[in-house]
Amino acid sequence: MSADRSWFVYLIECIDGSIYTGISVDVSARFDAHCAGRGARYTRSHPPLRLLASTAYPDRSTALQEEYRIKQLTPAAKRAYADILIARENRLTTCMIATAQEP
């Protein structure tokens, strides 16, 4: 595995409304594994509904620290954090689209 590869912290909303937090270098593949029952033990008993959000970190250690911090939050705080990540991603996407349309 390449040392310059980003690690991601991701949040999954489960069918029962709970929020699962994990880390991965490939969020899409990891989410697929959770959906197929090959992910974490938690998501085998609390099947995933949707991927709420994810954010990149420069290394595994930093991602693990952030994962631990998020896991200490209440479910409501985890949802609020996911909303912040989604809003940030939407702003970045909007800025990139606007920049691409400039003459």
Q: Which of 68, 101, 65, 70 is nearest to 85 (CA)?
A: 70
| Within-domain flag for 35 | yes
Q: What is the CATH number of the domain that holds 54?
A: 3.40.1440
Q: Percent of the chain at pLDDT above 90?
A: 76
Report the C-alpha gap between 76 and 99 in whole angstroms: 35
pTM equals 0.83
**78, 24 in Cβ contact below 8 A?**
no
State which H helix or E strand residue 52 sits in. Answer: strand 48-57
pLDDT of 2 higher than 60: no
| Cα–Cα distance, 91 to 28 (Å, whole number) | 22
Per-residue pLDDT tens over the stretch 47-97: 999 999 999 999 999 999 999 999 999 999 999 999 998 888 876 655 555
Question: What is the domain extent for residue 34?
Answer: 7-101
The domain total for the chain is: 1
Q: Is residue 1 part of a domain?
A: no
